[in-house]
Structure 1
Amino acid sequence: MDRSQRAGVSLVEVLVVIAILGILMAIILPAVQNVRETSRKSSCQNRMRQLGLAFANVESAHRAFPTNRDVYKQILPHLGHQANYDFLINNSRVSSPEVVQEFSCPSDTMPIIAEFGQLASYRLNEGTKFGEQSGQHKHYNGFQKFNSYNLLDQSFVSLNTPASAITDGLSQTAALSERLRYREGTRYLIAEPTPTTLARETGRYAWFISEPQPSPGAELPMREQCQHHRTVPSDWDGGHAPLTGADRGYNHLLGPNHPACINAVSSNRWGYSSEETILPPSSSHRGGVNVLFADGSLHFIQNQVDLDVWMALGTRSNNEPFQHQF
């Protein structure tokens, strides 16, 4: 062998090594991402379980589940935030990253801000009917019974949902689920969403429909419109759930992660009632959403859940016969 000849690797060998490294990265990165999402999903579930315990403590103390507009505030003492609750009696906002995290799912990638006006990841179940006016309050047929304002004093008890009102059974009635935050709570942190973003982020924003439906009785005709006749997405989700007071929850008219719909056409984007919105739960978890039941149990409900079963889980006293098929 000629000693003057330099030892080395050929171009082909270099390319082979690069190709092998590329294959390894393609295998490893998805696995790492799956592990991270599993961890985030677990944290999300643990936070929901803590909310379930807080709900049970309030029910034990006041003989009713906290289900009105001030639900997030009412359960603060039962989450270890008595000082923040006391502060909120006379103030509408509090800068507390710990409090915001209690109501935020780590899987939601929308930026959050450390103030009590931030949108929550978790929303109450309104049922299968749009809000109906009952005196000064909105009435629902889900876990949430009424919605009203300024209820930090003891008067909130009569507007909450007593366990006796849930005749379908606590284990058969959904109480709380997830919904991805939309830009409303981060308007100063991120740019306006583009039409492409709106269409892609179906779990955050609601769509307009081709033929608005008259009320009352708009729910089922609108569901058909939302399934088959959506037109263009709007730049909000049709609801509003800041920690300072949840105007809207979610409902069971369509299954998990189905696009939300507003009862209006795009040319009349401000001429509709926010109550008439189909708002399914949504999440970044693969294949479904977490649902907390009135008995405190937590289930992961798949996107393909039977719609009749899903609607039955959304009502508190309709006496629908069904078996769990999660």
Structure 2
Amino acid sequence: MERRTGFTLVELLVVVAIIGVLIGLTLPAVQSVRESARRSECSNNLKQIGLAAQQYHASHGKLPPGNSARTAGVCPGRQVPGVDTPSEDRANWAILLLPYLGQEVLYRSYNHNEPNEAPINKEVRETRVPTYVCPSDRDTNVLTVPAFGPAASWAMNVAYMPGSYRAVSGKSDGQRFLDASMDAEGYPADWRGPIHLVGVYGFVPESFKAVRDGLSNTLMVGESVTKTNPEMRTLWAYSFGHYSLSAVTPQSRVLSGDYAACRAAGGPGAVSPCRRLWGSFHPAGINFLLCDGSVRCYSPEIDVDLLAALATIEGEEVVVAPE
């Protein structure tokens, strides 16, 4: 009888097992390469933002304001003593940098004479700008209604497209912040960062000359993502408070990249610091743009007092930004 050649069932199972082992060995390496590419793209995004900020400074002699608020008024959970009129926020730093990021047409569609939440500014609010999105961030194509501020109080619940980066407004103590009109009062002047709220309490945009701590030792923009509570995430075009800029609080819980975990950890200032958390989906750490245009990746385990010192422009702390 003629003998037929081929694989036995046992041999086939062995081959399948070997292939499975090889896939198991190579998959982490492939994922690592992909993540490395995403982190590099994120770093390049921040470098582009840095170049745009430098071009804005060259044109205007100053950096863009974090949020140009016309009035300090009533927002949900943010009653300003003696004020009973609605709060009006206008363009923020991310909107003002659009012309320098190849988004001139989108920038021209924004009406600076109307509130940020006005219907006429819907196109800007609902547009995804690739430079403002880290490729490792999640659900960046999903329109989001914020939990706080004027947009949350409008009858139709105004939605925004997410972003991944917030400007650094300075240092805080967990209760006072220069990124929200109500909290700015009583804020120590030497706590301010390069990009912060202007227009309500007499604060004005900063120039590079004001960065006395050194451009290479001062943070400008950083990653801010959250694994939970999407209504608290970064919304690049939203001009209210912490949604597009944040202070650095010397509390380790704000580097979790997870709003729910930050709240659960507890700490001074109730939940306010958690709204301004910094975080990233990169295993290596959080990318930050410095005022000199460089980008550095800092571990979530970084000394929070050091990070807070790097957030000020003239705190005169004796620190050097880690490489």
**TM-score normalized by the length of structure 2:** 0.68
The corresponding residue for 2:116 is: none
Go from structure 1 to structure 2 and tell me whether the alpha carbon gap of 1:247 and 1:239 turns closer, same or farther (over 3 Å shift).
farther
Task: Identify which of 291, 294, 313 aligns with 1:294.
Answer: 291
1:131 aligned onto 2:194: no
The corresponding residue for 1:168 is: 213
CA RMSD of aligned residues (A): 3.5
Give how far 1:27 is off. 1.5
The corresponding residue for 2:196 is: 145
Query: Take 1:131 and 1:98, find their aligned partners in 2: how far apart are those partners?
Result: 28
Matches within 5 A, 1:118-267: 118-129=161-172, 130-131=176-177, 138=184, 141-147=192-198, 159-180=204-225, 203-205=226-228, 235=229, 241-248=235-242, 249-252=245-248, 253-254=250-251, 257-258=255-256
How many aligned positions are there?
Answer: 260
- Secondary structure in 1 aligned to 2:221? strand
Give how far 1:61 is off. 1.7
The corresponding residue for 2:139 is: 110
Go from structure 1 to structure 2 and tell me whether the alpha carbon gap of 1:278 and 1:305 turns closer, same or farther (over 3 Å shift).
same
Unaligned runs of 5+ in 1: 150-156, 181-202, 206-234, 267-271
Query: Take 2:30 and 2:233, find their aligned partners in 1: how far apart are those partners?
Result: 34
Give how far 1:17 is off. 0.7
Query: Take 1:77 and 1:277, find their aligned partners in 2: how far apart are those partners?
Result: 32
Contact 1:239-1:277 within 8 A present in 2 as well: no
Give how far 1:142 is off. 2.4
Give how far 1:259 is off. 5.2
Give how far 1:135 is off. 8.1
More off after superposition, 273-282 vs 77-86: 273-282
Unaligned runs of 5+ in 2: 68-91, 113-119, 145-158
Aligned partner of 1:131: which letter? Answer: F
Contact 1:173-1:313 within 8 A present in 2 as well: yes
Contact 1:239-1:247 within 8 A present in 2 as well: no
Contact 1:254-1:280 within 8 A present in 2 as well: no
Aligned partner of 2:299: which letter? Answer: Q
Go from structure 1 to structure 2 and tell me whether the alpha carbon gap of 1:104 and 1:296 turns closer, same or farther (over 3 Å shift).
same
Query: Take 1:168 and 1:104, find their aligned partners in 2: how far apart are those partners?
Result: 29
Go from structure 1 to structure 2 and tell me whether the alpha carbon gap of 1:132 and 1:77 turns closer, same or farther (over 3 Å shift).
closer
1:267-294 deviation per Cα after TM superposition (whole angstroms, max 9, x unaligned) = xxxxx98755463321111120110001
1:169-202 deviation per Cα after TM superposition (whole angstroms, max 9, x unaligned) = 111110000112xxxxxxxxxxxxxxxxxxxxxx
Give how far 1:105 is off. 1.0
- Identity value in percent: 25
Give how far 1:322 is off. 1.9
The corresponding residue for 2:129 is: 100
Contact 2:168-2:219 within 8 A present in 1 as well: yes
Task: Identify which of 87, 105, 111 aligns with 1:83.
Answer: 105
Query: Take 1:132 and 1:165, find their aligned partners in 2: how far apart are those partners?
Result: 17
The corresponding residue for 2:29 is: 31
The corresponding residue for 2:11 is: 13
Query: Take 1:113 and 1:4, find their aligned partners in 2: how far apart are those partners?
Result: 65
Contact 1:254-1:278 within 8 A present in 2 as well: no
Give how far 1:76 is off. 1.0
Contact 1:175-1:294 within 8 A present in 2 as well: yes
**TM-score normalized by the length of structure 1:** 0.68
The corresponding residue for 2:147 is: none
Go from structure 1 to structure 2 and tell me whether the alpha carbon gap of 1:238 and 1:52 turns closer, same or farther (over 3 Å shift).
same
Query: Take 2:14 and 2:263, find their aligned partners in 1: how far apart are those partners?
Result: 56
Query: Take 1:100 and 1:158, find their aligned partners in 2: how far apart are those partners?
Result: 28
Aligned partner of 1:61: which letter? Answer: S
